[in-house]
Amino acid sequence: MPGEYPFWLGGVAASMAACCTHPLDVTKVRMQTLQHNPDVKRPSMIRVFQQSVAKHGITSLYTGLTAALLRQMTYSLVRLGAYDELKSRLSKDGPPSTVKSLLAASVAGALGGVAGNPADILVVRMTSDVTRPPEQRYGYRNAFSGLVRIVQEEGVKGLARGLEANVTRAVLMNMSQVWSYDFFKTSLLHRTIPLTDYRFREGLPLHVAASILAGTVATTVCSPADVLRSRVMSCVEGQSMITILKTSLAEEGPAFLLKGWTPAFIRLGPNTVLMFVFYEQLKLGWKKLTQ
């Protein structure tokens, strides 16, 4: 039934998860936005993590946290809330078909991508700032001062930088993460784990198992769009996504589209698990509260 849970519940769950996994997100963005040098071997995820701590301290791994929270309370709030709302409306005459569920996830993802685009720009710029030459750094103090600076320096249209790549990624993310979580959760429910007597039932083990699988699918599907989004949003010259794609393909080859997959999975896997576990627990708590 539409309105069974507050629309904002997903944003709160995603914000809680982001507080736990933000250092991994910072590492991922810094890997994706490092300037390519053919004469130097690309640093690994662990190396980038170590360099960040050694040069800038452990607190640098929480750079841009205000932007990350703003992102979750716009992007994730809309995409999760809209998906649940659309799915509920499609369920009036029974469980929606796979096509209808995917359509609901796509529409909700696109809406979330538009809503969260300004915060996404801030996350990318603030987390990758220390990897840039001093004269090219943005130096935003927090998310709100960053929004003001973008409008002042780039105009309102600056808030839409990378919107195409971001909406594409948001659609792919909602389809591969949120829809697949529903799919895996339904598929695993009441199934018995091979070689054991354990049978999945509604509860924490089911939520964790389904979200791990969803996180793996989402990382693989979204990686190319995620890399392009990061590079477009961090670009000082204001190059288009097509220009950046052509240049990166010429200099680095197709493999650049999966650059940062490991830290992306290490970040998105736990983030997906935490987000859905928090979301399910918040739903349960709200249901008990309103009964």
Q: What predicted TM-score, i.e. pTM, was given to this entire model?
A: 0.78
Least confident of 34-43, 54-63, 100-109, 190-199: 34-43
Q: What is the pLDDT of residues 109-156, one digit of tens each?
A: 999 999 999 999 998 888 878 777 888 888 888 999 999 999 999 999
Question: If you average pLDDT over each of 94-98, 128-132, 169-173, 246-250, which comes out highest?
Answer: 169-173
Residue 106 makes CB contacts below 8 A (sequence gap 6+) with: 171, 174, 175
Q: What is the mean pLDDT of residues 277-282?
A: 95
Please check whether residue 37 is in contact with residue 106, taking contact to mean a CB–CB distance below 8 angstroms.
no
| Residue 36 clears pLDDT 60, i.e. is over it | no
The topology (CATH level 3) of 9-290 is Mitochondrial carrier fold (1.50.40)
List phi, psi (to 5°) of 155: 80, 170
Residue 272 is predicted with a pLDDT of 94
Q: What is the mean pLDDT of residues 6-19?
A: 94
Residues making up the chain, counted from first to last:
291
Q: CA dihedral defined by 147, 151, 153, 158, rounded to 10 degrees? A: 90
- How far CA 268 is from CA of 17, 28, 136, 225, in Å, comes to 10, 10, 29, 14
Between 263 and 251, the more confident residue is: 251
Residue 1 is predicted with a pLDDT of 44
pLDDT category, 38, cuts 50, 70, 90?
low
DSSP string, 124-186: HHHHHGGGS-GGG----SSHHHHHHHHHHHH-GGGGGTTHHHHHHHHHHHIIIIIIHHHHHHH
Question: Which of 60, 69, 76 minimizes the C-alpha distance to 128?
Answer: 60
